[in-house]
Amino acid sequence: MTVTTDTVISLSGAELAFGDRILWQGLDLELGRGEFVAVLGPNGSGKTSFLRVLLGQQRLTAGTLLIEGRPPRRGSPLLGYIPQHRAVAPQTPLRGRDLIRLGLDGHRWGLPIGNLRRQVDELVEAVGATAFADRPLALLSGGELQRLRVAQALATDPALLLCDEPLLSLDLHHQKVVAGLVNDRRRSHDTTVVFVTHEINPILEMADRVLYLAEGRFRFGTPAEVMTSASLSGLYGSPVEVLHVNGRLVGAPGSHDHGGEPSA
Ligand SMILES: Nc1ncnc2c1ncn2[C@@H]1O[C@H](COP(=O)(O)OP(=O)(O)OP(=O)(O)O)[C@@H](O)[C@H]1O
């Protein structure tokens, strides 16, 4: 019997430390189906490590994590992962379509070849990649590649989509396109999204909650609760001024227009 609940991620008393260095501790967090969570914080605060914990690649040093009621498992088809954009080596023989097929092959071997082709076509269409899916990966732009990486991450129809700074080095237009694809999927399939980013503005409207990591501490709540001068000054232990200007955040570390991280 399959028991389904509305809780997709459940963290209780979670701590991650490397040696003496505690990245975060006492983290209690429940994320429901279809929730979109932005994970923010300065370099080295533990954002990628947080994703690695969810991916089952890094063990908590204290506390518990359950994903859909079970301990995390590497390679679980429940999880889709979108990495940071990085260029592809010029001699890479793969085409766009092959990248998506890799996302399907690993989990659904035995799928008849006709079905596989149809599923790849559907995914290509879903991310608007029809025009370039047959080109070699090395000839694609950063924005085109990221669309294909979104499709690859969606191939197993995951309940949880983990995004590790997928907008990095994309122009504003492609940031919107890629963030929009993730958000559309969340809306259409009730997919839970954990979205690591340095820049909250492109996803400010999408985020239900923010997990902000800094100085071995964290803040977790709605953007309106977390992205305030009082909340972030408390987190950093020094004054931070956050302004809301035309629907954008200005001044906060974690918004594009900030003037640098405050010194602790
Ligand atoms: N396996 C490990 N062993 C020891 N230290 C580690 C390990 N993995 C990560 N760290 C350290 O933990 C800290 C957090 O790393 P992490 O990559 O999670 O940060 P981040 O917030 O994603 O940073 P960035 O914004 O620069 O990508 C860093 O100081 C890193 O060097």
Q: Whose CA is nearest to atom 26 of ligand 1?
A: 43
What is the SS3 assignment for 37? strand
Overall average pLDDT of the 13-32 stretch: 95
Q: Which of 10-14, 112-116, 202-206 has the lowest mean pLDDT?
A: 112-116
pLDDT band at 244 (very low <50, low <70, confident <90, very high): confident
- The owner of tokens 């122009």 is 171
What the block records as the tokens of 155 is 């191939």
Q: Which of 40, 47, 57 to mutate to test the pocket of ligand 1 (most atoms within 8 A of CB)?
A: 47
Residue listed under structure tokens 């305030």 = 228
Selected residue with higher pLDDT from 84 and 262: 84
Integer distance in angstroms from the first to the last C-alpha of the chain? 51
Residue 156 has pLDDT above 90, yes or no: no
Task: For residue 32, report the phi and psi dihedrals to the nearest 5 degrees.
Answer: -95, 170
In this predicted structure, what is the pLDDT of residue 249? 82
d(C-alpha 9, C-alpha 67), whole Å: 5
Expressed in angstroms and rounded, the spacing between residue 32 Cα and the centre of ligand 1 is 27
| d(C-alpha 97, C-alpha 142), whole Å | 16
- pTM, two decimals, is 0.88
Q: Cβ(253) to ligand 1 under 6 A?
A: no
* Ligand 1 atom with least separation from CA of 52: 18
Q: What is the predicted pLDDT for the residue at 111?
A: 58
Percent of the chain past pLDDT 90, that is, above it, reads 53
- Judged against a pLDDT cut of 90, whether residue 218 lies above it is answered with yes
Q: Do 163 and 190 contact (CB within 8 A), yes or no? A: no
Question: What whole-number distance in Å separates Cα of residue 225 and Cα of residue 129?
Answer: 37
How much is the mean pLDDT over the chain? 87
**Residue 226 and residue 246: Cα distance in Å, rounded?**
18
Model ipTM value: 0.96
Ligand 1 atom having least distance to the Cα of 41: 21
Tell me the CATH number for domain 7-250.
3.40.50.300
- Residue 228: phi and psi, rounded to 5, are -125, 160
> What ranges do the domains of the chain cover?
7-250
Task: Give the burial string for 21-55 (b: 16+ CB within 10 Å, else e).
Answer: ebbbbebeeebebbbbbbbbbbeebbbebbbbbbb
CA–CA gap between residue 199 and residue 240 (Å, rounded): 16
Say yes or no: CB of residue 84 within 6 Å of ligand 1: no
Average pLDDT value for residue range 156-172:
89
Q: Angle at the Cα of 217 (from 213 to 220), degrees rounded to 5?
A: 60
Using most ligand atoms within 8 A of CB, pick from 15, 16, 22, 48 the residue to mutate for ligand 1: 48
Is the CB–ligand 1 distance for residue 23 below 6 Å? yes
Cβ of residue 61 lying under 6 Å from some atom of ligand 1: no
Res 212 pLDDT > 70 = yes
For a pocket test of ligand 1, which of 23, 49, 212 has the largest count of ligand atoms closer than 8 A to its C-beta? 49
